[in-house]
Amino acid sequence: MTSFDSNVAAGLIGYLILVAILGYWGSKHIESESDFFLGGEKLPGWALALSERSSDMSGWLLLGLPGLAWATGLSSVWVIVGAAGGAIFQWIVFSRPFMEGRKETGAVTPVGLIAEKLPGDQDTIRSLTALVTFIFFMGYVGSQFLAGGTIFQDVFGVSPTVGLVVVAVLIILYSIAGGFLAVVWTDAMQALLMVFTLIVLPGMLLVQVITDPSLAIMRSLEASGGGRASWFGGATGGAALLLLGANLSWFFGTLGGFPHLDARFMALRSESDRRVGILVSTVWGVLTSIGAILLGLLARTLHGAPAAFEGNREMVLPFMITEHTPDIVSGILLAGALAAMMSTADSQLIVASSAAAHDIYTKVINKGEDFSEKVQIRISRLGTLAVGMVGLGIAYFTESLVYTLVSYSATGLFSAFGPAFTLLFFWGDNLSKQGVLAAFIAGPVTTIIWVAFGFTDIVTVRLVAPPVGFAAAIIGSFIWPRPHETTQSEPTSAMQD
């Protein structure tokens, strides 16, 4: 093993050991099903904010976004305007209803929150919403396992199978052991590593470019062609508006539409924790998003189009790390890249397992059974193991880009959960059970059809499926309105007296 390999291995192994320790620590603080799936009000707002942001951005931020910036140039900026803007808006507007909804209903999962807030047949709501959660999160979890395997394969020279297994097994094990508590604290640590990766490295390279008269970002983008020096990718008129709309549509990729992020809001303890979360998430999101875009532009400026990027633009970050940092720093930064994959996979794994174990097995299949806390925790851990193995299987057979997988899965989830929670919180009693069911059918089905028939090459599915989900929820609620309880007995009695 070379000196570089030794340093990288040392940094990676040290990081993985720390993750395992956090998983073991979390296992000692799990006393109930609520602890396992929602933290039992044992987590501060800043940790939940870091966990929420790293879980949302993760592999897309470190691999997908730098690669997109390198490939498309300045027009990639609109993606982070949409994504970061949506994240900030979600914290300000949606976090309080989620926190208060959990306290009001006692729900321990996002699926359960929907079911508890709506009168009527909860089994149907739980079953359909849990099914949608499971289906789309499996693609998401698989993509994160795949991203981790890609790092192991392309950087460390091991087979992709070995990389997948190492990443997946570690995530599954510490998620089983420590549940939501271990996941959030691990995510918070991973978020700090991601800041180091996306602030230190781009900052160093930017200084190098500024101090070298022969280098200039804009000049390099212009020389590369392809409209990379244009804010709209060289497009004009309607094409420019379509590009802008597609990129800004990432704004609507949150707004209650991701159950693994919703769980962080539900776990907030107080209004003061919520305010701290807003501040931390905003600063983290803005800095890391700018760093990711800048890294891709700097890669084009310093290296043009190296062979390492051909057919795999997601290698921008690993390539820039190995080319421009000392060996020991490379080990730390590459561990940060791996951390990004893990921070999303573990969060999605816990939420997907909560849908399977709590909402389906406990609340529907065994409805009415009085399980002890010990049995509930055992069921939760077995569900996490089963869901993790399914995700690993999907990752093994998937070769699509992380960016594509995340975009596809995200739209399927948001087109259902986005309308459900937005209307539940801000349309009040007007939203009916049938409206929710309509959204959970129409949104995901539209996503699948749109992608399967290739229509997303014409208009991104992110501009189509979510509006369909919202329309279905509203129309369904008008056709089958929520039954309203009347309280006329007392006035009637008074009149008779």
In a domain, 183, yes or no: yes
- Contact criterion met (CB below 8 Å) for 350 and 27: no
Task: Give all strands (DSSP E) within 113-184, no chain letters.
Answer: none
Distance of CA 130 to the CA centre of its chain: 17
In a domain, 142, yes or no: yes
In a domain, 471, yes or no: no
**Cα–Cα dist 421/113, whole Å:** 9
**Cα–Cα dist 339/351, whole Å:** 19
The total number of structural domains in the chain stands at 1
**Cα–Cα dist 43/283, whole Å:** 20
Give pLDDT, residue 79.
Answer: 86
Q: Which residue has the tokens 């791996």?
A: 338
Query: What string of pLDDT tens digits covers the 497 residues of the chain?
Result: 344 456 666 666 777 777 778 777 777 778 778 888 888 888 999 999 998 988 887 767 877 889 889 988 888 888 888 888 888 999 999 999 999 999 998 888 898 899 888 877 778 888 888 888 887 877 777 777 777 776 666 556 677 778 778 878 888 887 888 788 888 888 888 788 788 788 888 988 899 899 888 888 888 888 888 888 888 877 778 888 878 877 787 777 678 888 888 999 999 999 999 999 999 999 998 998 899 999 999 999 988 888 777 777 877 888 888 788 776 677 777 766 676 677 777 777 888 888 888 888 888 888 777 777 788 788 888 888 888 888 787 777 765 544 455 556 778 888 999 999 999 999 988 999 999 999 999 999 998 888 878 887 788 787 888 899 999 999 999 999 987 654 443 444 343 43
In a domain, 446, yes or no: no
Give pLDDT, residue 348.
Answer: 79
**CB atoms < 10 A from the CB of 1, how many?**
8
Give pLDDT, residue 339.
Answer: 67
Q: Is residue 298 classed exposed, middle or buried when 0-12, 13-18 and 19+ CB atoms within 10 A define those classes? A: buried
Give pLDDT, residue 42.
Answer: 87
**Cα–Cα dist 395/391, whole Å:** 6
Give pLDDT, residue 118.
Answer: 85
In a domain, 427, yes or no: no
Give pLDDT, residue 171.
Answer: 82
**CB atoms < 10 A from the CB of 225, how many?**
10
The domain that contains 198 carries what CATH number? 1.20.1730.10
Distance of CA 107 to the CA centre of its chain: 21
Give pLDDT, residue 487.
Answer: 41
In a domain, 408, yes or no: no
- Per the structure, the complete domain to which residue 237 belongs is given by 3-402
**Cα–Cα dist 473/416, whole Å:** 9
Give pLDDT, residue 440.
Answer: 94
In a domain, 493, yes or no: no
- Contact criterion met (CB below 8 Å) for 268 and 48: yes
Q: Is residue 201 classed exposed, middle or buried when 0-12, 13-18 and 19+ CB atoms within 10 A define those classes? A: buried
Tell me how far apart the 2 most distant CA atoms of the chain are, in Å: 95
- Contact criterion met (CB below 8 Å) for 86 and 250: yes
Tell me the two tokens of residue 383. 């569900």
In a domain, 184, yes or no: yes
Give pLDDT, residue 378.
Answer: 83
